[in-house]
């Protein structure tokens, strides 16, 4: 069992989250673990080692096994409405789909003939549209992609409709968009803005929220400044509680910005995803995949 601590800032943490917690390390041989997604039918977690250029799968029975290597520097992963794996690829600067038979195809890699930077994280709305972020981290060096000039000259949140093959910029109004998650009613989209990575004085390390209007995002508001470090991947449970990665672990907060508490993993944390009943949280943190059990 991994050793970790919790910090409680608001008594509502106990009623909204839980009272007993256990953190277990499932894997520790990644270079930079990211993008976990839970496949309920297979009882499997798929996650990326971005800098290791590998996709892994973990099951209770078999532990961690290589799913795909090389992975085109895969980062964020999610499932579409049919249960296919949808992946952000830094290497091909694309969004790909892996069907249940293991066939892989690129869904989208350009806007008006211009290649994306390096798609990073994504979510699928109940209407089947794929919303994703496109910061430059896969083209800044060869460590998690291929060093290349940007063709887009900007970092945006996109909405792609696989039914019509249409792609549009959902908002221009995030300098360095990264992780994202819909509210339960899908009327809002929460986005991590981590521009402080490039701009130490002027940049942000904030969680922000937009209203969803069709395939566009409107009315940006700040939710909270995320400390320590930066916000990256996040999840929102059925009660609207937000679990946001940060430098020390997972910060737990409400949509009004109230900090409820924190799970301290002790190293930089990139992302998380719920298991079947939202009482299990799989966490990617630095070189590791963890399972947090909540009671």
Report the percentage of the chain scoring pLDDT > 90: 94
**238 phi, psi to nearest 5 deg:** -65, -20
**107 phi, psi to nearest 5 deg:** -90, -45
Between strands 85-89 and 280-285, the pairing is unpaired
User: What's the pLDDT tens digit per position in 45-87?
Assistant: 999 999 999 999 999 999 999 999 999 999 999 999 999 999 9
Class of domain 5-294: mainly beta
- At residue 164, the pLDDT reads 98
- Nearest Cα residue to 183 out of 126, 251, 121: 126
**196 dihedral zone (left: phi>0; alpha: psi -120 to 50; beta):** alpha
**Section 111-137 average pLDDT:** 98
The mean-pLDDT minimum among 33-37, 168-172, 197-201 falls in: 197-201
- At residue 197, the pLDDT reads 83
Report the percentage of the chain scoring pLDDT > 70: 99
3-state secondary structure of 111: strand
Calpha distance 259→250 (Å, rounded) = 11
**Section 151-161 average pLDDT:** 96
**Section 213-242 average pLDDT:** 96
pLDDT for residue 196 is more than 90: no
Catalytic residues: 232
Question: Could you tell me where the beta strands, DSSP code E, fall in 69-176?
Answer: 74-79, 85-89, 94-98, 104-108, 110-111, 114-115, 122-124, 130-133, 157-161, 166-171
Calpha distance 177→249 (Å, rounded) = 20
Calpha distance 25→53 (Å, rounded) = 21
Which residues contact residue 153 at a Cβ distance below 8 angstroms, ignoring those fewer than 6 apart?
none
3-state secondary structure of 197: helix
User: What's the pLDDT tens digit per position in 20-32?
Assistant: 999 999 999 999 9
Q: What residues are designated binding site for a divalent metal cation?
A: 34, 178, 232
| Residue 191 · residue 176 · CB < 8 Å | no
**Section 129-150 average pLDDT:** 97
At 1, the pLDDT band (50, 70, 90 cuts) reads very low
Calpha distance 203→193 (Å, rounded) = 9
Calpha distance 260→23 (Å, rounded) = 19
pLDDT for residue 288 is more than 50: yes
Q: What residues are designated binding site?
A: 34, 120, 178, 232
At 3, the pLDDT band (50, 70, 90 cuts) reads low
3-state secondary structure of 12: helix
Spell out the domain ranges in the chain: 5-294
Q: Give the angle subtended at the CA of 209 by the CAs of 78 and 255, to the nearest 5°.
A: 95
| Residue 141 · residue 147 · CB < 8 Å | yes
């Amino acid at each position: 069992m991994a050793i970790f601590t919790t910090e409680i800032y608001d008594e509502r943490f106990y009623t909204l989250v839980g009272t007993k917690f256990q953190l277990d390390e499932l894997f520790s041989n990644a270079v930079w673990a990211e993008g976990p997604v839970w496949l309920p039918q297979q009882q499997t977690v798929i996650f990326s080692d971005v800098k290791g250029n590998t996709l892994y799968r973990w099951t209770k029975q078999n532990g961690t096994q290589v799913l795909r290597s090389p992975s085109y520097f895969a980062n964020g992963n999610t499932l579409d409405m049919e249960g296919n794996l949808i992946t952000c690829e830094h290497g091909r600067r694309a969004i790909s789909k892996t069907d249940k038979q293991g066939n892989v195809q690129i869904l989208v890699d350009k806007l008006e003939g211009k290649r994306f930077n390096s798609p990073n994280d994504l979510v699928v709305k109940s209407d089947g549209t794929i919303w994703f972020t496109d910061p430059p981290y896969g083209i800044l060096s060869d460590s998690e992609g291929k060093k290349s000039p940007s063709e887009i000259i900007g970092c945006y949140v996109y909405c792609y409709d696989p039914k019509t093959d249409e792609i549009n910029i959902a908002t221009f109004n995030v300098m360095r968009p990264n992780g994202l998650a819909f509210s339960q009613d899908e009327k809002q989209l929460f986005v991590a803005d981590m521009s402080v990575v490039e701009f130490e004085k002027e940049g942000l390390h904030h969680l922000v929220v937009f209203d969803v209007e069709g395939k566009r995002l409107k009315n940006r508001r700040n939710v909270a400044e995320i400390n320590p470090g930066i916000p990256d991947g996040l999840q929102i449970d059925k009660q609207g509680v937000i679990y946001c990665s940060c430098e020390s672990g997972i910060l737990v907060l409400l949509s009004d910005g109230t900090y409820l508490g924190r799970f301290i993993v002790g190293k930089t944390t990139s992302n998380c995803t719920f298991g079947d009943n939202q009482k299990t949280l799989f966490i990617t943190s630095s070189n590791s995949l963890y399972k947090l059990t909540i009671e």
